Amino acid sequence: MVGIKIKAIDGSVKKLTLVKSPYDRTDYKYKLKERYVTRKEAIDACLKVLNGQELTRKEIEEQTGLDEVHTHNIMQKMRDLNLIRVLDKKKNGKRLYTKQYECLLADMLMPSPEQIEKQFKIKSRTVRKVEQGGNRSAGFGGKVTYSKNYPWDIE
Which is it for strands 84-91 and 94-99: parallel, antiparallel or unpaired?
Answer: antiparallel
Which is it for strands 35-38 and 29-32: parallel, antiparallel or unpaired?
Answer: antiparallel
Per residue in 18-45, pLDDT (tens digit) is 555 655 555 678 888 888 888 888 888 8
Helices (H), the chain: 39-50, 57-64, 68-80, 104-109, 113-118
Provide φ and ψ at 131, rounded to 5°: -65, -25
Provide φ and ψ at 121, rounded to 5°: -110, 120
List the pLDDT tens digit at each of the 155 positions of the chain: 455 566 666 667 766 555 556 555 556 788 888 888 888 888 888 888 988 889 999 999 999 888 888 888 888 888 888 888 888 888 888 889 988 776 767 767 777 778 888 888 878 888 888 777 766 655 556 566 666 665 555 55
Q: What pLDDT is stored for residue 136 in this prediction?
A: 62
Chain centroid to CA 136: 32
Structural domains of the chain in order of their starting residue, each with its CATH number: 27-110 (1.10.10.10)
